[in-house]
Structure 1
Amino acid sequence: MIPLHPVATTDPATLTWVTPAAARLRRGVVRRAPAALQTLLEDGTLSRAEVVGEGVRTTLATGSWREAGPRVRTALHACLAADGWETDDGTPAGEGPEVAVGPGPDAELLRTATEVLAGEVAPYAATHGGAIDIVGVRDGVVEVTLRGACSGCPAAAVTLHARFEGLLRRRWPALVAVRQVSPRRPGRGCPRSSRAAR
């Protein structure tokens, strides 16, 4: 089963479902989704779904997460590995930019880094209005970009190295480094948040 962890946002009607499976999807507002999620958008359960760096952000049209949460979780589990996602510009999932990864062990490092990021680090960054995206893995080096409140935040270095790199190194001792790089697609990040630093 695909790991899926709900994280609250500042809007009580909105949850971000953090999952490593979001890495295969093109970011943006969902215009079309596989059947189970599309049904929730069409029947008025959800007013909006958006693929963000760390997962899928969903907003309820009416009702409460206590009532709708299990249905949304079930729909996401059914849809995350499926084709048929279209976001903002109508580009199907998998046709957008891909994470750069070298051959051999780098592919396994990417999988491990994605799991570590989704497990503890991404939800922590999201609580502060920020996000960390893996953009490449090459020769044991994991390249990331910072978005939202993490971009330019002095405490982001602590989150990036003490939390993410530290946890990743425990699972992957041969890790060379985690390096912050500039975003490869300008204008695709989140707007800056005024939330307090970590």
Structure 2
Amino acid sequence: MFIETETTPNPASLKFLPGRPVMDSGTREFADPEAAEASPLAQAIFDTGDVVNVFFGSDFITVTAAPGVDWTDLKPMVLSILLDHFVSEAPLFAAAPGTAAGFSVPPEDEALLVEDDPANADIVAQINELLETRVRPAVAGDGGDIRYRGFKDGIVYLTMQGACAGCPSSTATLKHGIEGLLKHYVPEVEEVRAA
């Protein structure tokens, strides 16, 4: 098995491509070792002691190194962990009590930051369609994801994940890229804010 790596716009993050699906649907972020307990793979990566974030995409895993950690030393350790995981065909997630081993995908926090006004249902649908078709594929290409967190008073609230969460250019991506796109297609959007 050969695992490719790609750099991301975030110099602390590296994207690993195992050449096979990682998540059947959705994405999953582990922002600390406690969250990683849900996945033996994420936990093993955190156990290196040099990692601050692990993100599972559809066909990639993004790992963010702790401040001051050199990828020269960390990359071979992560590659070894990933090879062991995929060659052994181990489950991605630990089983929850009462479920079959490996078939429990823990839910992510999908709660909205602000409640959407039902009167804005058409606007919210337009925003989500643009995020899904134009923004998420580009952000996934950089080793991350974006989550819609609400729309209120002309403001769209979004959360960046994976390599994009700590990227030095994430503010520019939100303010100049995503905000410009949404304002162009949805005139009711006045601003985009990180949530």
TM-score between both structures, scaled by the size of structure 2:
0.47
**Higher RCO structure, 1 or 2 (CA under 8 Å, sep 6+):** 2
User: Which one has a larger percent strand, Structure 1 or Structure 2?
Assistant: 1
